[in-house]
Structure 1
């Protein structure tokens, strides 16, 4: 899941920051717009701060300050993510889990997903049938199976499983079955 970083998206976030009435001490050499751009590239592309410093012709500490400033403000001004109880229970949805990769530290072995052969966090994503995201679960260790992860969200206390289409990782929950052929994938 990715979203495109358009100039309009970046301008919208920069506008949210400048009109938030929260003091924002972004690095003067970057400005608000470039600080937002750096932050989104950092989050979306998982680029190292040193790499971003080279791209934007500044230092790594300046990049770090820009990222921290933008994230701290957005954390305050953006609405909280929806919770299962905020969803409309009659909506027809598609459910799937995804692994968000991260560094695997030896003292956090539960982050390793044997299915994906990578370390990361398991997120459960609920969309409508056109792909608009309605819910993303809090992260769980990558070793967590999808059925366990979705049970931990409490989603089925607020939605009926037969309103949800899901793959075979959710067998036993009562969800409609999503087949690979439904996705146009012959395998």
Structure 2
């Protein structure tokens, strides 16, 4: 395991984990007891031939497990590299990341100190109560191609990028702050289909009045949600359109694009975490990875905003 000096250097340097020291301390205080409780429950639930507490002890304490997971998510470092860095076996790192990553994914997105959004229903209620504008967009993450002969092998091929990918729906506010990231779906799933499967149309149709900005991939949701989803304007004339119509249409399209550009910025911040740039591991872990990174990003955004207000 790493020494105290190395551990302090990892915590102190924000470039290594993408998080400030205060945020890491908050994660340790919150997740440490939860991890210990789940570990003890797992140990007590299986048949035993010796007393609880007997046998080999952990060489990797929880703080190091959390730091290894953060470095893996931030820089895409392989388990072999992390095992050498923390001076443990590769299987120890794999097990540690597999235990910590779901805890991070379950935290949800932090919108203010003590307030988190874990489900799409909570996000819709938050936007309705605050009167803020939301912005949605889909983003793709490249993954390995399924093995030959596997059922539904082609469903991961994206119709947009023509590559094997998974897709997630990102929802931010008008300032680009992360509010929600959906579980991952195969890349062949259309943006509007994904939104409907998540129940967004029914939540907005039966929910409070609000405005959700979206791109052309979501055209059709506006009619289903009573105009709550706003998409780029349709072309009313496709043949022999006068010059003034082309100018008006282009101006309206650019105005809409300018309003929803913040969600692109939010997605760019997500992709700064190398685990989401291209994933070479198991596709089954992508939902936890996406939601874990979104939760960490929103927590740091909230901490930075709170610190700026106090200055």
Which of the five TM-score ranges fits, normalised by the shorter chain?
Answer: 0.7 to 0.9
Which residue of structure 2 aligns with residue 121 of structure 1?
A: 166
- TM-score (norm: length of structure 1): 0.78
What residue is the counterpart of 2:22 in the other structure? Answer: 8
* RMSD, aligned α-carbons: 3.2
Q: 2:81 is matched with which residue: 47, 51, 59? A: 51
What is the aligned partner in structure 1 of residue 121 from structure 2?
85
Counterpart contact for 1:96–1:166, Cα < 8 Å: yes
Find the aligned partners of 1:71 and 1:127 in 2 and give their Cα distance: 22
C-alpha deviations, 1:26-83, integer Å up to 9, x for none? x7433221110111222343332112212333321221232233235x2797469633
Structure showing the higher helix proportion among its residues: 2
- Structure 1: gaps of 5 or more residues: none
Q: Secondary structure at 1:121's aligned position in 2?
A: strand
**Count of paired positions:** 181
Task: Deviation per CA, 1:3-37: give whole Å up to 9, x if none.
Answer: 92333332222212333361548x74332211101
Distance 1:114 1:54, change over 3 A: farther
Which of 1 and 2 has greater Rg? 2
Give the unaligned 5+ runs of structure 2.
1-16, 41-56, 109-115, 223-228, 233-252, 265-311
Distance in 1 between the 2:106 and 2:180 partners? Answer: 19
For residue 163 of structure 1, the aligned residue among 202, 211, 225 is 211
1:122-141 to 2 correspondences below 5 Å: 122-141=167-186
Stretches of 4+ aligned residues off by more than 6 angstroms: none
Q: Secondary structure at the match of 1:158?
A: helix
Match of 1:103 among 132, 144, 165: 144
Give the TM-score of the pair, scaled to structure 2.
0.50
Structure 1, 82-91 or 135-144: larger mean CA deviation: 82-91
Structure 1 residue 176 corresponds to structure 2 residue 190: no
Asked which structure has the greater RCO (Cα within 8 Å, sep 6+), the reply is 2
